Amino acid sequence: MTRLASVAAFALATVAAAQPDGGVERPVVSVLYFDVDEKLGDLTMFRIGLAEMLITDLAPSGNITVVERARLEDVMGELKLQATKNFDQKTVVQIGNMIGAHYQIAGTILKPSKDSLLIEAKVISLLTTKVVVTARARITSDDILDGEQVLVAKLIAGLGDAAKLKLESPPKKAVKLKLDTAVKYGQALAAKDQKDPGKAKGLLKEVVTEQPDFILARMDLAALAK
């Protein structure tokens, strides 16, 4: 069985788990790379780090299964899609269905001012292809985690309402993360995806040096060192 066939089989099995009323016992949620204006240069790499952070923060909320970013990369590889490209609504739904998700989180990263970004997110029900949740948060260049956690809390609340589930937001992080460091983290993940562990390690070491309490980067670096 090819990898694409395996993904498709997983998708069919997941959708088959739907309850008669259209709900599911434990919905599968996928996070797509958010759209970014290519004119913003290196910020296109931030979308990769943002996706990893959102996945990590959504996963412990309970009563949902959050798809790992590696599975998203597998599907995008099958479709010959690049992580730096933006996706239309049809592609967003197609990726979600192939992954086997019930809800797909997509969005846009905007830069309204020199020192901040505006993150606009939407949750699409793959059962109806309709947007069931919208959320937005502003993040500053000197601390992107504060705004990211605001966005996560809104997404969890919206998903809980849409799926009629009780979900919990993660505890607030006391650490800060600068945007420049988050961009470098995205570059490290991209290097890892491109099977360049040497480059990924080098970038992750820089990230950890700049932000020693960024646990996610430390875990990625430790995994590469094995």
Domain ranges of the chain: 3-176
Complete DSSP assignment for 16-49: HTB-TTS-BSS-EEEEPPPEE-GGGTTHHHHHHH
pLDDT, position 23? 55
Distance, CA of 111 to CA of 120 (rounded, Å): 11
Q: Which residue has the higher pLDDT, 198 or 171?
A: 198
Distance, CA of 35 to CA of 87 (rounded, Å): 7
Q: Which residue has the higher pLDDT, 114 or 13?
A: 114
> How much is the average pLDDT of 180-198?
95
pLDDT, position 43? 83
> How much is the average pLDDT of 83-89?
84
CA angle, 66 then 72 then 76, to 5°: 160
Angle subtended by helix axes 197-210 and 179-193, to nearest 10: 160
- CATH number for the domain whose boundaries are 3-176: 3.40.50.10610
Please tell me whether the overall predicted TM-score, pTM, comes out greater than 0.85 for this model.
yes
Q: Report residue 10's pLDDT band, with 50, 70 and 90 as the boundaries.
A: very low
Residue 15 predicted with pLDDT over 70: no
Residue 151 predicted with pLDDT over 50: yes
> pLDDT tens-digit profile of 41-71?
888 899 999 999 999 999 999 999 999 999 9
pLDDT, position 111? 86
